[in-house]
A and B are shown apart, each in its own frame.
Chain A
């Protein structure tokens, strides 16, 4: 299994045009910082074993 490698710069390059977002020069460093914080938090959650049958919290009621 490949270990995920998080590259915020590459994510910005790929996702900004896909989303139709412009990331100006002044925004680049803060957006990168926020992505890296998010990646750290996601990695923390990845370490938690949650079963396939764990229901996500929002449950739709028809």
Chain B
């Protein structure tokens, strides 16, 4: 395999580019060719920025020729969910309406930071409209499809991000996660995904959904790539007022420390019911590999999910109220009708939900006095079929769209850092993910555990073998 033809991990590409074994132009040209060949089937990309990508590649190659020191992601192609600003393009955020916006004047900060590490942006990725989605379906751009079986959902709302990574189009992608939109497609597409702590990475120049809950983070096929991307994106940015005043915590250098000394437990209670056996079997495998015998509970996790659900409905509706009035017919009907309902909810409900958030944060802090890492399913099932609207869990029929995130939503509600790791079962074509959850600000521990699982071969993210 060569980076000039295949989609190698970003770290390997960077090593090859730095060594002069391949040029950044060759790497980018190969990535653009893969997108051209596979994207009609996958529906992952909505925009391809070939001209700027080749110009950036030439700049990386020229810097190397001059003997300049290249960045940690030198020559690695990446793409971003299309709610990230890309200079020169309207930030559509999965919608029809936003295409009427003027082109973005500058890149989102995280895009600029990855390019400062000499990664190369090659395009924008498909997503559920305005990120209110767990399926990866989009009425305007068509669905992103699961590369491991195109009949199935990619998961969403960062569906294009999951599909681009699993489909071997690019080694690195960015997405957003309000209630699970990085972790759900990571689970369904079988890739690694990192949702950092709420307030860790700047959200500047990305289109919002729920300001109280919005996070950004990377997808990759290796834990090292997640860590390199995370490190490159760290740092304060006054343009995001929700960013926490906390020192950056680079993680790549400590990734191989292993799990020695870490106290790891499975989450019981809410996180051990309302799912298919595959979801709990995956947690068992990960727990066994990490030697996690204990079970702990996050108290009132059902109410945490309820509170996150209500905050999402109300803040999402408030964001879009003018558009709901003026251009209701231009929304995806599934998104519009949830937003309309959110606009009608009593204000007291959301204040109570925010009070409960304070209570739940204290309860979670208490739980993490006893453990360092907890494990939970990422999704209640493997990828449903595209177009599937309901599913039956524990004998109860429920809507697919909101309930794929029933295990992710209570976790992001209090902003905990999570690495989703993909688990495979012999004889099953589709993967399922497990959440590796750490205390707030401890992305390093979640990534170390994920890396240990990857090194053992228990979690992996192979490129899909597409027909």
Contact = CB atoms under 8 A, between A and B. Distances in A.
Contact of B352 (A21, A30, A35, A50): A50
Give the size category of A's interface with B: 20 to 34
- The A interface, classified by DSSP as helix, strand, loop or mixed, is helix
B310 A38 contact: yes
B356 A19 contact: no
Interface in A6-54: 11-12, 15-16, 19-24, 26-27, 30-31, 34-35, 37-38, 40-42, 44-46, 48, 50, 54
Nearest to A53: B355
Nearest to B353: A45
B99 interface: no
A45 B212 contact: no
Contact of A27 (B300, B340, B346, B361): B340
A57 interface: yes
Interface string B394-418: 0000000010000000000000000
Interface stretch (B55-63, B110-118, B321-329): B321-329
Contacts, number: 101
A55 interface: yes
Nearest to B311: A57
- The B interface, classified by DSSP as helix, strand, loop or mixed, is helix
A35 B309 contact: no
B358 A54 contact: yes
Nearest to A14: B344
Question: B302, B309, B341: which has the most chain A beta carbons within 10 Å?
Answer: B341
Contacts of A34: 313, 337-338, 340-342
Interface of B: 212, 300, 302-303, 305-307, 309-310, 313, 321, 324-325, 328, 333-334, 336-338, 340-346, 349, 351-359, 361, 402
Given A19-B321, A34-B340, A50-B359, 7 more contacts: A19-B325, A19-B343, A19-B344, A34-B338, A38-B342, A54-B359, A56-B358
A45 B349 contact: yes
Nearest to A49: B359
B333 A44 contact: no
Contacts of B354: 56-58
Interface of A: 11-12, 15-16, 19-24, 26-27, 30-31, 34-35, 37-38, 40-42, 44-46, 48, 50, 54-58
6 tightest A-B contacts by CB? A34-B341, A41-B306, A56-B354, A57-B357, A30-B337, A15-B344
A11 B344 contact: yes
Contacts of A31: 337, 340-341, 344
Contacts of A19: 321, 325, 343-344
Contacts of A41: 305-307, 309-310
A20 B325 contact: yes
B310 to A, nearest CB: 6
A27 B333 contact: yes
Given A34-B338, A41-B306, A21 B359 contact: no
Contact of A57 (B305, B324, B358): B358
A30 B365 CA distance: 38
Contact of B337 (A20, A27, A56, A58): A27
A55 B359 CA distance: 9
A50 B355 contact: yes
A55 B355 contact: yes
B160 to A, nearest CB: 25
B217 to A, nearest CB: 21
